[in-house]
A = this chain, B = another copy of it.
Amino acid sequence: MAHATRPAPRFATWLIEGADSPINKALSNPASLGYGADLVGFGGGQPAVESYPLEALERAYASAIREAGRQVLPYGGTQGLPALRELIAERLLRRGIQADPANIVILTGSVQGLHLVGRITLDRGDTIVTEAPTFMGALAAWEPQQPRYVSIPVDEHGLVVDLLAERLRDGDVRAKFLYLLPTFQNPSGVSLSRERRQHLLEVVREHDLLVIEDDPYGEFWFDDGTERIQPLRALPGSEEHVVYVGTFSKILAPGIRLAYAVASPQIVDAMLRTKRGVDFHTDTLLQEAVVRLVRDSEFDLESHVQAGRALYKERRDAMLDALETTFEPETKWTRPAGGFFLWVDLPSGTSAEAVATRGLELGVSVLPGFLFYPNLDGGANGLRLSFSSVTPARVREGIQRLRRAVDSIGE
């Protein structure tokens, strides 16, 4: 393997430690630093900064503090405000998920949901099944238990469920849970097909496997019909086996840490017991502000999300066009029907890591694919590109820089 001689880094050292680094700050917000002021940022996974509903958020906080401050500023319940859980249940219904508010846990960001499920299921050295590639940032949630990762490939229809079924049937995989992002996946942008979702549910029920369905991008579909691919958790019979994790990070803003899990009563109880020792409860003022934001008659969350779909679709289209006109057929890429990311496979033998490093010098940031393989055993010529936070004109410029980076490392 290309990476066999590299000492195995702690998970996502680049990706995660990068959050505090000048490079990552530049990725997120190029203009904020002298460094990288001209960088085109395809590296991060930030929602578009211009989409934040600032005025509505200001009204929501003001009314939460003024009208409900003395009710929501004391210590609160660990599960979260009932009004927020009811609102989440209503919104989930539109995506086909029937969830009792009693089975919803308010989280301080999605990663907390992953952390809590890990905390209640994993012993040291246990096995987790993931997609390959998968969102490496998530794996930090389980790092302290030093799990073993079994990864199952993703193709253009998502996780290859047949292969998972085979390995479970052969008995060579005994996992505590399967972690996946079935919809507009991070990093590949692909979605698990409807047929495979049904098959996956049969497999996990047969083998009594717990599933974490991480769904940060599921509301951002771009094309006719894709909205009708419902989450795994919407399938009848999924209730016991699927922990669904959703978030407000992508539809509102990620700096406020607010997400939620839907799970069976047993899992909910165990998550709550653990959450008490993690942060006791999620910021109740934030919870109240989001309830008020969604109920605000001057703000329509559904129109806001719809505007996000249009914005990200335009950026995806710009990126697909630019790739088409800039790269030859031996370079391949996915055509995501939603979300924030697409995946590029450079011609075999091209070092994506070298391209990513050279790209930074040439003013474009991308993440090398090997970062998204839990055992660092794939993605040598792959790149994750995020189109979510870059305007179409800049997308074209960035793809041209990427082409120059690819060309220059071949020299």
**Which residues of A pack against B, CB within 8 Å?**
10, 16-17, 19-20, 25, 28-29, 32, 44-47, 49-50, 52, 54, 57-58, 61-62, 65-66, 69-79, 108-109, 111-112, 114-115, 119-120, 124, 137, 139-144, 253-257, 272-274, 276-286
The main secondary structure of chain A at its interface with chain B is: helix
Q: How far is the CA of A73 from the CA of B46 in the complex (A)?
A: 10
Tell me which of B49, B58, B111 contacts A279 (CB under 8 A): B111
Q: Are A69 and B44 in contact (CB under 8 A)?
A: no
Q: Are A278 and B79 in contact (CB under 8 A)?
A: no
Q: Are B278 and A112 in contact (CB under 8 A)?
A: yes
Given pairs A45-B75, A141-B278, 13 additional interface contacts (CB within 8 A)? A16-B78, A19-B281, A20-B78, A28-B74, A44-B75, A46-B75, A52-B70, A54-B66, A74-B253, A109-B279, A111-B277, A115-B279, A140-B273
Q: Are B77 and A20 in contact (CB under 8 A)?
A: yes
Q: How far is the CA of A399 from the CA of B66 in the complex (A)?
A: 33
Tell me which of B142, B256, B279 contacts A112 (CB under 8 A): B279
Contacts A61-B61, A119-B144 known; A111 to B280 CB distance under 8 Å? Answer: yes
Q: How far is the CA of A70 from the CA of B111 in the complex (A)?
A: 22
Q: Are B280 and A283 in contact (CB under 8 A)?
A: no
Q: How far is the CA of A119 from the CA of B28 in the complex (A)?
A: 29
Please list 25 pairs of residues, one from A and one from B, whose beta carbons are closer than 8 Å in the complex, sorted by A's number: A17-B273, A19-B76, A19-B77, A19-B276, A49-B73, A49-B74, A52-B69, A57-B69, A58-B61, A73-B253, A73-B255, A73-B256, A108-B108, A108-B257, A108-B279, A109-B279, A115-B277, A137-B276, A140-B276, A142-B277, A256-B285, A256-B286, A257-B280, A257-B281, A257-B282
Which residues on B sit within 8 Å (CB–CB) of A61? Answer: 58, 61-62, 65
Q: Are A283 and B254 in contact (CB under 8 A)?
A: no
Q: How far is the CA of A111 from the CA of B139 in the complex (A)?
A: 23
Tell me which of B62, B69, B144, B255 contacts A283 (CB under 8 A): B255
Contacts A75-B44, A256-B285, A279-B257 known; A273 to B10 CB distance under 8 Å? Answer: yes
Q: How far is the CA of A17 from the CA of B144 in the complex (A)?
A: 26
